[in-house]
Structure 1
Amino acid sequence: MKRLFPAEFVLPGHPDKLCDTIADRLVQEASTHEKRALVGVEVAVHRDTVTVTGRIACEAAHTIDVGRAVRDTFATAGYGYPPPSLCSGDCPARDQGSCALHPAWMPAPRDLKVSQDLCLGPLLDGETDFRAVSDDQSIVTGYAVDLPGTNFLPAEQWFAAQMARRLESLRAERLDLRLGPDGKILALLEEDGDSRRVTAVTASLQQQIGGDSIALHRAVLEVLGAQLAQAAALVPGFSPDIPATTVVNGAGNFAVGGPEGDNGLSGKKLVCDAYGPRVAIGGGALSGKDFYKADRAGALLARRLAKLVVMTGGARECTATLAFFPGDERARVLSLVDGGGAQLDGRRWEPLLDLSLAGVGDCYTGTTDLTDVARHGHFVAERPWETLTVV
């Protein structure tokens, strides 16, 4: 039976993803001060204003430069004026701040107004040990499918994320296209048994007024062809054919983007961060929370458990649902369900994993670049928590 699955992903300059990245940048900064730092922050952006709220508790928390974290995130996403080194001679960018080939993308990091309402200070007496205990309730979902080529992720979500990375690279490789930092992609994948084909793709890519839209469409088709070829090589039954429906900037010119075009908020791209709309999510955000927080730690535990079931041959597809009650040290396994809806006996796999909050926090805090995690995915193969040794 044919089924159609959608998936989307956004580029680093998307307003919501800017917020996620700032939030995770602060998590990473706090963890360098203290391994068991407590971080729970949220970020909002609109035009040139960035608001950061929440709590950061660790040694020397007041020395964390929130403004620098915000501005660095905008800069590395591609906002601001081009560096003078890019332009030489009589290039107008040397005097005007931008030119046709090297446009300025607003808001510029140096012009941002950063507002913060943060509880900054040390962990309270006894709070370091209490990090191993859940301070809130949480429902989390993990998923895996027997597709090693996608790192056991749904094919459509993996494809959308890979396409987004290629489109991000296109901005640096094709300066003539005059692309900005903001963008997103949506793909439709048709499954018919073990056969898969992309039936439609739409990409929205920020482009300077006067940029060649026809050249951009051709460039996207080239990128799409390359990604489809890679997918066909890695995923059995994946068609390399370019879909007849490929839309680029279907709503017209997309010159005003990022926070200038829309407001942003951390935690709004939860489906992108997880497995796409094929899989139900618990609802808790990952970015902006340290690795001892039940929402984040639980999501990693659920993913590892589902992946373990699939990698050991317990099911071709598995969804794991876990929960934490306030005061729990270990995740409660509510269900393991295969692709057909049948319940699996969790007692076979639960003893093989450490399902404790302390296990996640102690193992994974400070082990990877959280800027990259926020921008490019929590469950891609290179993340340390994605490694499972099956004997």
Structure 2
Amino acid sequence: MSEEAAKRIKVAAEERNFLFSSESVNEGHPDKLADQVSDAVLDACLKADPFSKVACETATKDNMVMVFGEITTSGKIDYEAIVREQVREIGFDSFEDDLGSVNSKGLSCDSCEVLVRINKQSPDIAGGVHVGKSDLDVGAGDQGIMFGYASDETEQLMPLTHMMATQLGKKLTDVRKDGSLWWLRPDGKTQVTIEYKQHTDGSVTPIKIHTVVISTQHAEPLKAKRTEEQSGKDNRGKYEGEEQIAPSMDEMNELIHDKVIKATLESIKLKSGESALSIYDRETCNLHINPSGKFIIGGPQGDAGLTGRKIIIDTYGGWGAHGGGAFSGKDPTKVDRSAAYACRWMAKSVVKAGLCKRALVQLSYAIGVAKPLSIFVETYGTEKEGLTAAQITELVKIEFDCRPGALARDLALREPKYNKTAAYCHFGREPFEKDGMKFFSWEDPIDMSKYASMSTEDIDKECAAQKEAILKKWVD
């Protein structure tokens, strides 16, 4: 074992158990609604003009949605139509200006006020970042620091606390939209606490689900009718079957447990190969389902929403680190987004290859400069025996090009595919292809497994041989 690896393992040598918590929100949460509208606008711009420069923010309160920011595109964009369609897709189809009303879902796709305040990108920024430059010389759209994280505790190489909180929210939406739990409404939040064991090599293993919190918007218990709740004005088809009445709160909570919590745990696979249900015991888990009681008024009627306020939910649930930049509404020249995707791509690749069990990757940029200013790789002492974090860093430099133009090319980031990322996390998602586009391409790791079988000396030789190529894309 190398001296550096020995020192790093010594730091993490104390085996211990600890609790860690992560939260998530549903697509109908006001802040998430804002993220989705911003990315719907971005997609419309990129569909019309792949080189659009977009910085689109969204704010919402009561029955109003406002989009504002700086956009330069050759396309003709119908902002109001985009807003209304996104609100409808989420499921907000009714608003009554009365906090005592049980019929208001919190926003109406048909009657909401839509405000648009869009200007063009500053010519100062355009001149410094992309005007007159080749694709690979396009500079970063701003300065900043970005992080990516991966852990071998789940099949997706994501932290289980965050994976579970995110998937609980997604399941709430799925059973609402497919009609299984028709009385659910779009807004909602989830939170999960898990007991972990930290091993002497720095890796972590989830051993027990400690707490689950679900607060979800719902129709009026024992009164709401399905024919009125599912009227066909939202993203679901109009219900024309035999009339159904919403269950009691106790019945709602029991159905949420069985059809949301248990079903979600069964779908998440741990590194042991077992499902997350294997570390769940209802008798000992602290369950809080709608702990405040009724949650009927929600969406923007309950809380104001703004793009970029759920940056931890969008990433790793508090694990790793965060540079502070939000994602939604930003085109790929904005490294807050594209470089954060790159950091995840690199972290997942080194963990998937078996070079380490956990990885944190940081990049930094300056506005107008193409090459990243710095890269940092932390492996928490989990690197493969014989490897060092410094060597893994050099291997990453060989395999990846993190100049904004290269990222846009390699991850196909100029395609209109961002709206799918705006709810239920940008990471840990399964890549898929649709309409000729590959979604979540940064979740498809580069194969670095060849390095896992190489000796330290051979890795050093490879890094030295690639020095000239490295300097073309990385700062020395």
Equivalent position of 1:347 in the other structure: 394
In 1, the alpha carbon distance for the partners of 2:109 and 2:369 equals: 42
Is 1:189 the counterpart of 2:194? The answer is: yes
TM-superposed deviation, 1:375: 1.4
Is 1:202 the counterpart of 2:213? The answer is: yes
1:285 to 326, 331, 334: 326
Q: Does 233-242 or 268-277 show the bigger shift?
A: 233-242
Is 1:319 the counterpart of 2:360? The answer is: yes
In 2, the alpha carbon distance for the partners of 1:104 and 1:58 equals: 37
Name which one, 1 or 2, has greater alpha-carbon Rg: 2
Is 1:254 the counterpart of 2:274? The answer is: no
Deviations 1:265-308 (A, max 9, x none): 10000000010112220000011101121111110111112122
Equivalent position of 1:369 in the other structure: 417
Unaligned runs of 5+ in 2: 1-15, 96-101, 199-204, 222-245, 432-439, 450-476
The one-letter amino acid of 1:350's match is K
The one-letter amino acid of 1:219's match is L
Deviations 1:24-48 (A, max 9, x none): 1111111112111100111110101
TM-score normalised by the chain length of structure 1 = 0.87
Contact map agreement 2:194 2:211 (CA 8 A) in 1: yes
TM-score normalised by the chain length of structure 2 = 0.72
In 2, the alpha carbon distance for the partners of 1:195 and 1:361 equals: 36
1:1-391 aligned at under 5 Å gives the runs 1-60=16-75, 63-81=76-94, 105-120=105-120, 127=131, 129=133, 132-147=138-153, 149=155, 151-174=156-179, 178-193=183-198, 194-210=205-221, 211=246, 212-222=248-258, 223-231=260-268, 236=273, 238=276, 239-242=279-282, 243-340=284-381, 344-345=389-390, 346-362=393-409, 363-367=411-415, 369-379=417-427, 380-382=429-431, 383-390=440-447, 391=449
Deviations 1:328-378 (A, max 9, x none): 212233311112499711112211012110022234235463222101221
The DSSP-based 3-state class of the residue aligned with 1:221 is: helix
Contact map agreement 2:72 2:120 (CA 8 A) in 1: yes
In 1, the alpha carbon distance for the partners of 2:215 and 2:373 equals: 41
The DSSP-based 3-state class of the residue aligned with 2:110 is: helix
The one-letter amino acid of 1:224's match is I
Contact map agreement 2:154 2:268 (CA 8 A) in 1: no
Contact map agreement 1:10 1:183 (CA 8 A) in 2: yes
Contact map agreement 1:3 1:190 (CA 8 A) in 2: yes
Per the alignment, do residues 369 and 52 of structure 1 end up closer, same or farther by CA in structure 2, a change over 3 Å counting? same
Contact map agreement 2:92 2:105 (CA 8 A) in 1: yes
In 1, the alpha carbon distance for the partners of 2:402 and 2:414 equals: 19
Contact map agreement 1:5 1:278 (CA 8 A) in 2: no
In 2, the alpha carbon distance for the partners of 1:50 and 1:32 equals: 23
The one-letter amino acid of 1:209's match is E
The one-letter amino acid of 1:12's match is E
Contact map agreement 1:38 1:290 (CA 8 A) in 2: yes
The one-letter amino acid of 2:161's match is E
Q: Does 326-335 or 113-122 show the bigger shift?
A: 113-122
The one-letter amino acid of 2:118's match is L
The DSSP-based 3-state class of the residue aligned with 1:127 is: coil
Aligned length: 369
Q: Does 122-131 or 317-326 show the bigger shift?
A: 122-131
The DSSP-based 3-state class of the residue aligned with 1:369 is: coil
The one-letter amino acid of 1:388's match is P
The one-letter amino acid of 2:214's match is A
Unaligned runs of 5+ in 1: 83-99
The one-letter amino acid of 2:105's match is W
The one-letter amino acid of 1:301's match is A
RMSD (Å) for aligned C-alpha atoms: 2.5
